[in-house]
Amino acid sequence: MSDTLTRTDRAAAPARSTRLDPVTFEVLKNAFATSVDLMSEQILRTCYSFVIYSRDFSSALCDARGNTVMQGSGDIAVHVGTLHFQAKAVIEQFEGDIHPGDVFAINDPYRGGTHFNDVSFVRPVFSQGRIIAFAQNKGHWADIGGNVPGSFDVSASEHFGEGLRIPPVRVWSKGVFLHDVAQLLVANTRAPEQALGDLHAQSEATAVCEREVLRLVERYGTETVELAMQETQDYVERTVRRRLADLPQGRWETVDYLDLDPGKPEGLVPVKIVMTLDGEGIHYDLEGSADVVDTFLNSGYGTTFSAIYAGTKTFFPDVPLNSGFYAAVTAEIGPEGTVVNAGWPHAVTGFCSGPYEKLMNGIFEIWSQIMPERAMACAFNLEYLLVGGRDSRREENPYFMWYDWMAGGWGGRSSKDGSTATAPVFGVGLAVQACEGQERLTPVLTTMHRIGTDSGGPGRFRGGCGVEKGGTLTDADASVMSYCCDRARSITWGIEGGLPSIPHGVWLNRDTDNERFLGSIFSSVPVQPGDTFYRPSAGGGGFGDPLDRSPEEVLEDVIDDYVSVERAEADYGVVVIPVDPDLDAYELDRERTAERRAYIRAHRRAWLEEDPARIAEQYRAGEIDLLDVIRRHGVILDWGTGELFSETTRQHRQQMIRRSASHWSS
Amino acid sequence: MSNVRVAVDVGGTFTDVCIFDDDTQQMRITKVPSTPSDPMEAVMHGVERGEIDLAQVAQFSHGTTVATNALITRNFPAAALVTTRGFRDVLEIRDGTKDDLWDAYNDVSEPYIRRRDRFEVTERIDYNGNTITALDEDEARALADLLKRRGVKTIAVCFLNSYANAAHETRMREIIEETIPDATVSTSAEVLPEIFEYPRFNTAVANAVLAPLVSGYVNRLASRLTEGGYRGDLLLLHSGGGSMTPRLVEKFPVRLAASGIAAGAISAKHIAQQCGYDNAVSLDMGGTSTDIALVADGELRVSQEWQVEYGHPIIFPSIEVLTIGAGGGSLAHIDIAGSLRNGPQSAGADPGPACYGTGGTQPTNTDANVVLGRLGTSLAGGAKHLEKSLAEEAIRATIAEPLGMDLEEAAHAIVAVANANMADAVRLVSIRRGYDPRDFALLAFGGAGALHGADVARELGIPTVVVPPSPGVTSAMGCLLVDIQHDFAHMYTGLASGADEEGIEQEFVALENEASARLRHEGVADEDGLLQRKISMRYQGQWRSLQVPMGSGPGALEQAVRTFHEQYEREFAFRQDDAPVEVYQLHLTAVGKIPKPSFRPAEVVEQKPGEPEDRRRVYFGSDGWLDTPVYERDALAAGTAFSGPAIITQLDSTTVVPPHTNAEIDEWLNIRIHLEEISS
């Protein structure tokens, strides 16, 4: 689908003067926000899906044409800029046949949706016999059927086995609940009662918004409310355009990568971004991005636009989100068949770990040059580990799903270190689950959940630290494990001379004879009771040259064990002598620090050019450390076997020279 | 004969003392400067200034911000966390979320205990309370020795799944106490026996780090009062709107985390009730911050989760109050982009506003009000003299000259920014809750609330402002209006249908025994004790639960399920009668009834005010400098009516009645200000 169709098709009139008085406008604008936030508050308190409960949901009030007037203030980033597509899909499908008391469901990623798990409920709001708005709530159902529990089928390359696809369908008709349709939907999931619970809860939440809008109509009149919906969009568009007036004009570009396309030889998969500021608007062009990959890490047009809006919004944090924003930010996402505009029937469920965050981080990198005071290096990659099977702790042997995602590190910034153990950029409201809750519900015992020492990318401002989580499967039958992530090879990068962090990836039975590195994306690996698994989330990339970080700051990191004594020397050239670690007593050896830093400075460019095959050999022989392979030599291997990926290494080194080495002082 | 009730509220700038005489039904007030280095000094100073004979005091109640301030400023003793191996970072990983979803530079604040002070020990209990790995006692002892070497005496012990079995936590505590006999140890299961490690750990850690400071303070104050002849219990207002005695504060200091904040909200509800307003929003503006509480349909909102800062939850029922950094002492400054800002930084009590002459050179709202003539140069009944020239100098140097403004223009701009900030915050709590502020009355109190109240109301389109008789000690009055109250909970998960009713009854009886023991421990006579059962339930598969009242005996559970369906429908507009209902938690609220003061209305006689005490020039923005009468509040009897502009001074506050308003004194001696163009 091309951008001309996906762009908001509103008759924008940004220059039109406002017709509402300032108080009424302010009251209504805030009341719209309230009506949407109330919807969110209700869904949070009535939902069944633990994924929704962890804040993977969003709410919006759309106008009669489906354009978004207000999106929930606590909404997950990934849904940003997709709700209007779905309201429009309902209008397209049912125009002329929409009635008071109707509620529609839709989850179709080929009509601007996110992925099948994200089911939207859309309720028309009527006044004076006409539609004046649509209230919408979108929430991530824990399961939507398909081949694997949780409906994240990593091996899918087409959508047919992934889960239930719901084009716009009516679930309530003039206030009457359509049991048959609802049953058809929920019977295709692994937990029909839960799904039915969420179906009711979400639909009722949209009624809360309807009630609020009608209260406003009663007080201010239909026309005033309609006018305020339009002016709220105009206001946002005007705000963005005025901000642009103070920014330079020009063209910026970058490229970020997915790890691999299993349908092709090894090599990173490019997501290319060009951005132009012309004083009128913000324009993106994704030409040059790779063809669809042979996994489900593709993005449909809805989520590609979402990434573009969310990435841009990060640099305009105080501007509210609605279709006015989408009017000021445009994109040419190219023809269907690419990793950023996959199209039917390519699998796109894993977009969130794939192109989505590559786009967001790439956009961060571009804007970091335009607004250095908001600059930020790359953040860790969104990841989901799924263990599903039968829970033999209970007689009924029910299905269980241990569906887990981690916090991780965000990139170093131009004035401070990156944020440690933070929710993914895909949704900073996405709460990690309490281990105690998971242990009640599933036969998985968490053995550790802690910050990863040395996981933050070194820099003048260190990347935030990632997290490590380990678990053991206890009383379970017929269980399999799947993982949806990326950046085991396209390592989380630094900027302005900062260094990369660490690779993502899952280890099975680590430090035993059965140890296996399963990588960052795999499907349905059988697991037995007693099996242990471990995975880190990456830290953020570093910002600025690590040799410019003061030894005192490095020492503080060592005391807190964010950085080990060994990496303090290897990454920062800072020599720390433990005196009595029990009492936090360490000393800086300033003389050796100066020597060490001079040595690194003299050799680091050459290290990046050493023969990758030799580095791989040394890694396999246990002579050098994984972090040296990545941070010092820019070489990418299979971290389990030590096999060299030559093309991947070539690409990785190229970006590392651009982002890191070219900024180092000699 | 004990016939006096005393309530003391410690704020950032002033300590307020409220004295109610049961015989005459009259209230007196005293206000003394706070003493942040030791708040007790100010309390005792206030007792002295109020000429209180402690032997005559029947009830001494106290709201304190000692705990809140300690959490905000991280004024903690050296402390350590001992936790399950592998879980050192629960406090820092939290749930990973950020308050500010879009500003990538706005981080969640640091955990209460740094990583270097968090230690692991080998042990593990499963979800069912079974031991998977026994507590390694050798390791535990070695760790206790290490803590001793590190000189730590404040320790939180937080183990995974301890809500299901607290044995390891308890044993660890014993080992620490054997090694460090004077250690204060908080265990997570004792502080909050609830599932979910992060909120439980954080609540326990907050309890631990507050313990030395808060219980030390409370105990010292209690013994000083006893020495003075007070024979009752010191009552401390807690976050949930009840009070507790020092014996319990020692164990649960974290319950005082919102003590000072709850008092103002309770007063707001009381005033709204008195005045006959179902809907009111309170603006309790003190020296460093403003608390905003909403009384909607006559009730305050209570939340199960409260936090001083985002990301640091304290899981106890707490009255919902929004606090913003705008107070009399908020600093005005020009930011890097050249625009005028106001707060949230505050001059506090030290150095204080420039006009205090105590070393402050940055202008505050207080300085601006002095320059505008709104505030006189004598505060707290002459206890504090304000130096106008210092206020002028600070505003001239910091604001007026850089912006090229006249002095009064600059002072007015400072106040206007403060008012807009407060109006925004009121919008946040009202409009964002679906209420239109225009349907509310604004209750203005706190030391500075009545100075700004009418302007904020105008900004919001609110037609009426109520200024209570003693605005500066209104919060303190809230302390007079509460009972002793404790909340207990017990996890109980299972389907309601076919649940072991007898088992649930037994659990409630056990909670009741614990609660009765606690009330007795608090010195509550049996006939004054009241136990209320509640039960939280949800539709099976849901994540949040709803609390409903629970009876006793056969059929109680069935009735509670019916109530659950009804209440669920009332709150969420739908119900699912066919869906299985799950019990989640049993709750017990124990109330120790305390007799309340009875207030007597004054006789209303319609009249004009007498001769003003004084007249002075006051600046009112577009109206310019106006010759304005200054009245003594005490001289304004019930029924007095007048038009703005007027200034009303009293010991604890100054009220600004701007031009284009009418004011009257009601039967409770409140000033009610009606904004003309809004109300007409």
Q: What integer pLDDT is reported at residue A16 of this predicted model?
A: 36
Dihedral sign, CA of B87, B89, B91, B95?
negative
| Neighbour-count burial of B555, counting CB atoms closer than 10 A to its CB (0-12 exposed, 13-18 middle, 19+ buried) | exposed
Q: Which residues contact A150 (CB under 8 A, 6 or more apart)?
A: A117, A142, A143, A384, A386, A388, A401, A403, A482
Nearest residue of chain B to residue A201 (CA atoms): B574
Q: 3-state DSSP call for residue B123?
A: coil
Question: Per-residue pLDDT tens for B621-655?
Answer: 889 999 999 999 999 999 999 999 999 999 878 99
Nearest to A44 among B104, B124, B544 (CB): B544
What is the Cα–Cα distance from A386 to A404, expressed in whole angstroms? Answer: 6
* Three-class DSSP labels, B7-20: EEEECCCEEEEEEE
pLDDT of residue A8: 37
- Is the CB of B97 less than 8 angstroms away from the CB of A562? no
Q: pLDDT tens digit string along A283-305?
A: 999 999 999 999 999 999 999 99
- The band of A6, judged by pLDDT with boundaries at 50, 70 and 90, is very low
Q: What is the pLDDT of residues A161-184, one digit of tens each?
A: 899 999 999 999 999 999 999 999
Nearest CB to B89 within list A35, A440, A450? A450
Whether A2 has a pLDDT exceeding 50, the answer reads: no
Rounded to whole angstroms, the Cα distance separating B16 from B5 reads 14
A450:B434 CB<8 A:
no
Å between A234 CA and nearest CA of chain B: 21
3-state secondary structure at position A474: coil
Establish if B142 touches chain A: CB-CB under 8 angstroms.
no
* Closest-CA residue of chain A to B115: A560
High-pLDDT (> 70) share of chain A, %: 96
- Mean pLDDT to the nearest integer, A435-443: 93
Output the pLDDT for position B444: 97
Name the closest residue on chain A to residue B436, using Cα atoms.
A27
Within B56-103, strands assigned E span 57-63, 79-84
Contact B543 A467 (CB under 8 A): no
Burial class (CB in 10 A: 0-12, 13-18, 19+), B554: exposed
Mention every residue, 6+ apart, whose C-beta is less than 8 A from residue B523: B233, B245
Q: Tell me how far the alpha carbon of residue A147 is from its chain's centroid.
A: 23
Of A200, A415, A436, the CB nearest to B196: A436
Q: State residue B422's pLDDT score.
A: 84
Distance, CA of A343 to chain centre: 20
* Pairing of β A329-332 and β A282-285: parallel
Could you give the angle at the alpha carbon of B117 between the alpha carbons of B114 and B123, nearest 5°?
120
| B66-73 helix and B197-227 helix, angle to the nearest 10 degrees | 130
Instruction: Give the residue on A whose Cα is nearest the Cα of B88.
Output: A450
Calculate the alpha carbon distances from A561 to A411, A564, A567, B118 in Å: 19, 6, 11, 11
CB contact under 8 A, B150 and A212: no
Mutate: best of A368, A422, A473, partner B, most B CBs <10 A = A422
Q: Which residues of chain B have pLDDT under 50?
A: 1, 336-338, 679-680
Residue A207: list chain B partners with CB under 8 A: 573-574
Q: How far is B421 from chain A (nearest CA, A)?
A: 15
Closest residue by Cα to residue B294 from B449, B453, B428, B460? B428
Contact of B336 with chain A, judged by CB distance below 8 Å, is answered with no
B86 contacts A448? CB cut-off 8 A:
yes
pLDDT in tens, A59-70: 999 999 999 999
Q: Are the beta carbons of B654 and B382 closer than 8 angstroms?
A: no
Is there a contact between B98 and A422 if contact means CB atoms under 8 Å apart? yes
Q: Tokens representing A597?
A: 């830093």
SS3 content of chain B, % helix, strand, coil (to 5): 35, 30, 35
**Could you say which of B105, B198, B574 has the minimum Cβ distance to residue A413?**
B105
- Write out chain A residues lying below 8 Å of B147, CB-based: none
**Confidence band for A521, pLDDT divided at 50, 70 and 90:** very high
Q: What is the residue type of B82? A: V
B98 at interface of A, judged by CB pairs closer than 8 A? yes
Residues from chain A that touch B115, judged by Cβ atoms under 8 A, are 451, 560-562
Interface subset of B 550-579, CB within 8 angstroms of A: 572-574, 576, 579
The confidence score (pLDDT) of residue A664 equals 96
Q: What is the pLDDT of residue B544?
A: 78
pLDDT digits (tens, 9 = 90+) for A559-616: 999 999 999 999 999 999 999 999 999 999 999 999 999 999 999 999 999 999 999 9
On whether the CB atoms of residues A651 and A268 are closer than 8 A, the answer is yes
Asked if B116's CB is within 8 angstroms of A560's CB, the reply is yes
Examine the pLDDT at A7 and tell me if it is beyond 90. no
CA B135 to chain CA centroid, nearest Å: 39
Alpha-carbon span A141 to A151, nearest angstrom: 9
Q: How far apart are the first and last CA of chain A?
A: 48
Q: pTM of the full predicted structure?
A: 0.87
Phi, psi of B500 (to 5 degrees): -80, 90
Residues of B in contact with A215 (CB under 8 A): 434
Closest residue on chain A to B574 (Cα) = A204
Could you tell me which of A301, A222, A237 has the C-alpha nearest to residue A63?
A222
A362's enclosing H/E stretch is helix A355-370
Average pLDDT score, chain A: 92
Nearest-CA distance from A180 to chain B in Å?
A: 17
Report the residue of chain B nearest A212, measured CA to CA.
B434
What stretch of H or E contains B383? none
* CB atoms A419 and B96 under 8 Å: no
Which of B107, B108, B542 is nearest residue A48 as measured by Cβ atoms? B542
The string of DSSP codes covering A129-196 is TEEEEEEEEEEE-S---SSSTTS--TT-SBGGGTS----SEEEEETTEE-HHHHHHHHTTSS-HHHHH
| pLDDT of B678 | 60
**What is the value of ipTM here, to two decimals?**
0.93
Nearest to A208 among B101, B542, B573 (CB): B573
Residues in A closer than 8 angstroms to B427, CB to CB, are: 30
Task: Write out the two tokens for A424.
Answer: 């993914």
Residue of A nearest to B93 (CA): A421
Lookup: tokens for B263: 């008092």
From A45, A207, A415, residue closest to B544, measured CB to CB: A45
Compute the count of residue pairs across chains A and B with CB atoms less than 8 Å apart.
177
Q: 21-80 in B: which are within 8 Å (CB) of A?
A: none
Among all residues of chain B, which has the CA nearest to that of A203? Answer: B574
Q: What is the pLDDT of residues A327-369, one digit of tens each?
A: 999 999 999 999 999 999 999 999 999 999 999 999 999 999 9
Q: What is the pLDDT of residue A591?
A: 98
